[in-house]
Structure 1
Amino acid sequence: MQLTAAYKKAGDWWAAWVEEIPGVNTQGGSLDEARENLKDALRMVLEVNRELSEKELEATQRENLIVA
């Protein structure tokens, strides 16, 4: 799976978000910092969504899903 990171300079800061996943956004004092913060934000959102899903839904079967 490939996602799109979008960036916008806003004053002294860089705003950053993942276009395909609402709620994954952050900022940084430099483009590099915004990029690293965005990776962290994506990891956190995926982790929280997984935890919420596990609490709300009891799966009878699980498997790894690879999207190419």
Structure 2
Amino acid sequence: MREFTLTEDYIELLKLLKLLRIAQTGGHAKIIVENGEVIRNGEPEYRKRAKLIKGDVIEVSGDQIKIV
């Protein structure tokens, strides 16, 4: 499991996918989310601009990312 340290109150899902290079572009990040490939805390997350906060666990492409 990877960890991502927040420097603000939250990070938007699309930004996280781009920052961690899970998605190559913003368009690619949108497709990943729209296709239901992102799991947030055990539930599918379809909101591209979902605000991720400390304690959230994201699963995408076999990777788990914990927001700390």
TM-score interval for Structure 1 and Structure 2 normalised by the shorter chain: under 0.3
**TM, length-normalised to structure 1:** 0.28
**TM, length-normalised to structure 2:** 0.28
From the CA coordinates, give the structure whose radius of gyration is larger. 1
| Greater fraction of residues in helix | 1
Query: Which one scores higher on RCO, CA 8 angstroms, separation ≥ 6?
Result: 2
